[in-house]
Amino acid sequence: MKVLAISAALALWTTAVNADDLYKVDAQLTVSGNKVGAFTTELPAGAFSKFENTQHRPYTASLAVKDNKVTEKVEKDLATGFTLTSTAITTTDGKVLFTYAMDYSRLIKMTRKPVAGTNEFIDLPETWEIGHSGSVLFTDGVPVTQSGGNSTDQWELKMTVTKI
């Protein structure tokens, strides 16, 4: 319990000491060698930043049918693209602790299936998605790359955090 209290006090002190710090964040996501998202922002210490470059597409997810008539139609929203949420603080040794969560999705295909007994269709989206999060200890201005993927698609997230 004593260790927990000391850790909490140290965390609060570190945040308070660095509350006026400001960071420049550069991030770029490539998938299979193609740049799919990039941004630059200024981020105050301890604040959260959200970059979002998404597209939204409505689709018919389901239908309720009675006596060959549609009684209910459920529309959903398919969001595809790149999102990065982050925060940063300066540690007591002068490095920058950058915590982030990244999501990327793309539509591979949208299959339309007819609904028996009607002139209606439902849509079946097939997507490819990445979800990745972590914390990185940056030396001021030195780029860091996180990567992953599978045998057909590789992704790479390049980030630089600089105290300004």
Query: CA-based Rg of the chain, rounded to a whole angstrom?
Result: 22
In this prediction, residue 4 has a pLDDT band, given cuts at 50, 70 and 90, of: very low
Q: Give the neighbor-by-neighbor strand order of the sheet with 34-44.
A: 34-44, 22-31, 154-163, 144-149
Specify whether the CB–CB gap between 138 and 93 falls below 8 A.
no
pLDDT > 70 in the chain, percent: 88
In this prediction, residue 118 has a pLDDT band, given cuts at 50, 70 and 90, of: confident
CA distance 88 to 23: 8
Q: What is the pTM of this model?
A: 0.76
Q: Is residue 142 helix, strand or coil?
A: coil
Residue-level pLDDT at 6: 44
Specify whether the CB–CB gap between 70 and 63 falls below 8 A.
yes
Residue-level pLDDT at 110: 95
Mean pLDDT of all residues belonging to the chain: 87
